[in-house]
Structure 1
């Protein structure tokens, strides 16, 4: 009887060993007090549950979207305030170069530097006056006289420092006459420009308001983008 009991105990021990060997290694080591402390295992143990991992991700997406929208608005504001601006031509003072309701872009960088504005450039300027509808009166004209020059209007022509100005963008039949005698002959200051409309018979310009300061010039014509049939940079 004693021998039979010994055999049974051996069989039970053998079965226990086989059961332990059938366990996965990580569970087996854990059952005997040995744990896997590798970085991979620690990282796996630290992973949040499925629900917890999704919530921060959704919040992060919302935050990124809002941040992107804010950045876009700031960039758009800075560009339109300091770099480029859209304008609508109102009136016919620049015909045949620009027409009523033409849509244009003007850049606002050149005006900041000496030499940035050249003769024949088309610019927009604030006249410090109000239009008939009460809105700020912005004019679009062509640069004729530059700082330090003397501009004279005589006999239907424009003279710069006593030399007749060539104006190839105008029909040959066009003549230029003064409006206000006080501005028929002007010596321009250091930061002053003499501006004229291409439609000389129907334009309020420096012949009416005198020289325009650099500070009052808002931008230089970059391109006309509408109507598409006249898309491009006017001469």
Structure 2
């Protein structure tokens, strides 16, 4: 082979390898997502761009308060916070989250409480009122948006099967001025 053909062949191989790596990373490890709507405010803003970690749940289960992306029944991908994991009894009373009959702090709601000072963020409910189950079923998650007044979540669509979870979303990379880990 001549020097020119050899160099060209090396470039073709390098581009092919780069494309294969990009495909593997994008479809199996990490993916970008754009936050659509106000259901996760103030934690996430409309049009925030995030990285979804698709690999972490291959080795562990989602935990309470993780922010996840999942395939919703209407064919869209939703981004919500895990509130209940399998076996949990979930209830809201007097704007307080109770999991397994224990009051649970939700620090990510503090800024929203200032906006709606004196008003209820989350209406009272028990899991059984929504799902006919007393506990979150095996292989299911109970999810809520942080902006409870403006969120379509498990109160509307029921629990989310773990197989529908795309991954964990906690790195905001855009807008560039607001790069952060969302908690």
TM over 0.5: yes
Q: After the TM superposition, which of the residue ranges 76-85 and 221-230 deviates more from structure 2?
A: 221-230
**Which residue number corresponds to residue 130 of structure 2?**
182
Q: What is the TM-score with the length of structure 2 in the denominator?
A: 0.86
1:232 aligns with 2:180: yes
3-state DSSP class of the match of 1:118?
Answer: coil
2:51 is aligned with 1:142: no
User: Which residue in 1 is equivalent to 2:21?
Assistant: 75
Query: Structure 2: 5+ residue runs without aligned partners?
Result: none
Aligned Cα root-mean-square deviation (Å):
2.0
Instruction: Quote the residue 1:153 is aligned against.
Output: 92
How far is 1:154 from its partner? 3.1
Bigger radius of gyration among the two: 1
Judged with a 3 Å threshold, the aligned counterparts in structure 2 of structure 1 residues 113 and 148 are, in CA distance, closer, same or farther, namely: farther
Deviation track 1:105-140 (CA, whole Å, cap 9, x = no partner) reads: 11011222344x2211111110131xxxxxx31111
Alignment partner, residue 12 of structure 2: 66
Structure showing greater relative contact order (alpha-carbon pairs closer than 8 Å, 6 or more residues apart)? 2
Residue aligning to 2:43 = 97
TM-score by length of 1: 0.68
List aligned pairs for 1:47-66, cutoff 5 A.
56-66=2-12
In structure 2, distance between residues paired with 1:153 and 1:92: 21
- Higher helix proportion: 1
Distance in 1 between residues matched to 2:160 and 2:134, nearest whole Å: 11
Query: Is residue 2:161 matched to residue 1:216?
Result: no
Q: Is the 8 A contact 1:157 1:177 kept in 2?
A: no
Question: Aligned in 2, Cα 1:185/1:197: closer, same or farther, shift over 3 Å?
Answer: farther
